[in-house]
Structure 1
Amino acid sequence: MKLACYFSHLTLTIFILSLEYWSLFEGFCLEALEFLHGLGLIHCDLKPENILVKSYNRSEVKMIDLGSSCFETDHLCSYVQSRSYRAPQVLLGLPYDKKIDVWSLGCILAELCTGNVRFFFQNDSPATLLARVIGIISQIDQEMLVKGKDTHKYFTKNHMLYEHNQDTNRLEYLIQKKTSLRHRLPMGDQGFIDFVSHLLEMNPKKRPSAAQALKYPWLSYPYEPISS
């Protein structure tokens, strides 16, 4: 477990938790998001540094730093979320809503499980981030690619992923390394893996809201592991 002091709280950095604690932690985070979203607010910058552990024993957390937050009725900024936790619809320049926070929370949960900071993002290229997301989660729906105003920055007209190599001044195709959450998450509990997959649904229309995610069976207490 690694925590950093922030005034009278502990800020979550790489925080290796038991599954029992994870279910409580995620439940509190989703409840916080449900409250924010109920006010019509999108956090827009959810990441471990913005989650404070108020009480480790009681699994109580606080979400902080609403400096990037906005109302869903606002004219939404196209550049939101820290890149490691940026939802696919934001990367592609699609309209977004409160479900981008759910994506960020799914990324955070994957980090907590693996201890790997920036589970998806490992360099400065948004195209490489997309490649990793596609390789681990799934292909991006054609409808999203067609409607995204920034799709052309990362995909050819035939929807081949590419990036511009600044050193050679050439375009390079990116071949996604196919893997899965089951392979990447170091545990055999299918209920937990399904829950993370639930939050990291590529298509925002299919991704649950915070309120819907709170009803997922994995969050029920007491925790009972589900074998694959």
Structure 2
Amino acid sequence: MHADIKPDNIMLVNQSQQPYRVKLIDFGFATSPAKIPCGAVIQALGYRAPEVMLGIPVTESADIWALGCVAAFLYLGYHLFFNMNEYEMMQHFVHMFGQPNKSMLQEGKHSKKYFWMRKGIMKHTWVLKTPPNTESEAEDTAAFLSLLKWMLCVDPIKRITPVEGLGHRFITMKHLPEDPRATEQRMADEFLTRN
């Protein structure tokens, strides 16, 4: 198994005499699939097979996945899964190809990074996790844009002052859900300053 198939590791042999002959290079990660520990992270992220991400024992078929990604890149002119983190890739896999089957998810050492088990009365179902703190992130972005709008006000008279800026909800973080530990710490600090 090559374990690192990507466009950087595919070269044209002799473009003038054999324009369609290519050669696979860089066998530094090549090994027998039996020697790859279950759950080991192999392959470049944009070319990583779903079974590698889930932590299922791999076979040479992971190289076929990577080769398919290279073929798509050559045909489309762009990477299918470029500049994504693992969760975004898994989300795209599910969107494009459907959810991995139940046995794959149960066998995968890393399945719980991407999916959670919904427990029902009759059966349990694997469900793709949603990105964390989506609501908080949206509120944080709205607060930042609000501050930015005031900072970049064309009319200098209406522009936010430094004192107003320090009191803005983005700076004070009043728009975010309060962490109970922060509340306890603040109360302790207030008690110490009073006494």
Letter in structure 1 aligned against 2:25 = I
TM-score (norm 1): 0.51
Q: CA RMSD in A?
A: 2.3
> Which residue number corresponds to residue 83 of structure 2?
122
Query: Would the alpha carbon gap of residues 84 and 71 (structure 1) be closer, same or farther in structure 2, given more than 3 Å must change?
Result: same
Query: Would the alpha carbon gap of residues 61 and 147 (structure 1) be closer, same or farther in structure 2, given more than 3 Å must change?
Result: same
For the 8 Å contact 1:121–1:132, the answer to whether it is kept is: no
Q: Secondary structure at the match of 1:160?
A: strand
Query: Would the alpha carbon gap of residues 121 and 133 (structure 1) be closer, same or farther in structure 2, given more than 3 Å must change?
Result: farther
Q: Secondary structure at the match of 2:117?
A: coil
Query: Would the alpha carbon gap of residues 166 and 70 (structure 1) be closer, same or farther in structure 2, given more than 3 Å must change?
Result: farther
Query: Would the alpha carbon gap of residues 96 and 169 (structure 1) be closer, same or farther in structure 2, given more than 3 Å must change?
Result: farther
For the 8 Å contact 2:10–2:24, the answer to whether it is kept is: yes
Letter in structure 1 aligned against 2:106 = V
Structure 1 residues 113-146: Cα deviation after superposition (integer angstroms, max 9, x where no partner)? 1111x212432x2111011122122321111111
Q: Using the alignment, how far apart are the partners of 2:36 and 2:66 within structure 1?
A: 21
Structure 1 residues 154-205: Cα deviation after superposition (integer angstroms, max 9, x where no partner)? 10113221255489889xxxxxxxxxxxxxxxxxxxxxxxxxxxxxxxxxxx
Structure 1 residues 200-222: Cα deviation after superposition (integer angstroms, max 9, x where no partner)? xxxxxxxxxxxxxxxxxxxxxxx
Q: Using the alignment, how far apart are the partners of 1:164 and 1:126 within structure 2?
A: 12
For the 8 Å contact 1:134–1:140, the answer to whether it is kept is: yes
Q: Secondary structure at the match of 2:12?
A: strand
Tell me how many residue pairs correspond in the alignment: 127
Letter in structure 1 aligned against 2:28 = G
Q: Using the alignment, how far apart are the partners of 2:77 and 2:50 within structure 1?
A: 23
For the 8 Å contact 1:120–1:133, the answer to whether it is kept is: no
Q: Using the alignment, how far apart are the partners of 1:135 and 1:168 within structure 2?
A: 22
- Larger deviation: 151-160 or 55-64? 55-64
The Cα shift of 1:94 comes to 0.3
1:96 aligns with 2:31: no
Q: Using the alignment, how far apart are the partners of 2:136 and 2:41 within structure 1?
A: 25
> Which residue number corresponds to residue 137 of structure 1?
97
Between the two proteins, what is the percent identity of the paired residues?
A: 31
Letter in structure 1 aligned against 2:4 = D
Matching residue within 29, 37, 52 for 1:76: 37
The Cα shift of 1:50 comes to 0.2
1:50 aligns with 2:9: yes
For the 8 Å contact 1:46–1:104, the answer to whether it is kept is: yes
**Could you say which structure has the greater relative contact order, defined with CA pairs below 8 angstroms and 6 or more residues apart?**
1
1:162 aligns with 2:129: yes
Superposed, 1:23-38 pairs within 5 Å as none
Structure 1 residues 94-115: Cα deviation after superposition (integer angstroms, max 9, x where no partner)? 0001110000000111111111
Structure 2: 5+ residue stretches without partners: 119-125, 138-195
Max Rg structure: 2
Matching residue within 67, 73, 82 for 2:28: 67
Where in structure 1 do 4 or more consecutive aligned residues deviate above 4 Å? 166-170
Q: Using the alignment, how far apart are the partners of 1:169 and 1:83 within structure 2?
A: 28
For the 8 Å contact 2:36–2:58, the answer to whether it is kept is: no
Matching residue within 150, 155, 176 for 2:110: 150
TM-score (norm 2): 0.59
